[in-house]
Amino acid sequence: MKEDFLFCFCRLRMLSDDTVPHADTILAALAKHLETKLSFAQGERDMIIMRNDVGIRHPTGELETREISLVVYGEPTGFSAMAKTVGYPAAIAARMVLD
């Protein structure tokens, strides 16, 4: 586990002698640093994987577990998976409230 963290820190150049980006807060500087390391290259896309296990108690007292899974891929030249699953539904809800 500790080796995984060290690998990630090295890969993201968190332990290098690179100049720290100027920002108002430490968190903003970290975000600027990671933005350069984690931005998508041409043709890359994001992906969301979500799994929920839902417990159901029937009126008879019987317990049942159901699994709900969702996998969404972003489009390289269109909406990201985050936009499809968060931004777009939020915009629909806002429009419904306004209407």
Phi-psi region of 51 (alpha: psi -120 to 50; beta: other; left: phi over 0): beta
Report pLDDT for 87.
Answer: 86
> pLDDT by residue (tens digit) across 6-55?
888 788 888 788 888 889 999 999 898 888 888 888 888 999 999 999 99
Characterize 59-92 residue by residue with b for buried, 16 or more Cβ atoms within 10 angstroms of its Cβ, and e for exposed: eeeeeeeeeeeeebebeeeeebbebbbeeeeeee
Cβ–Cβ < 8 Å for 36, 20: no
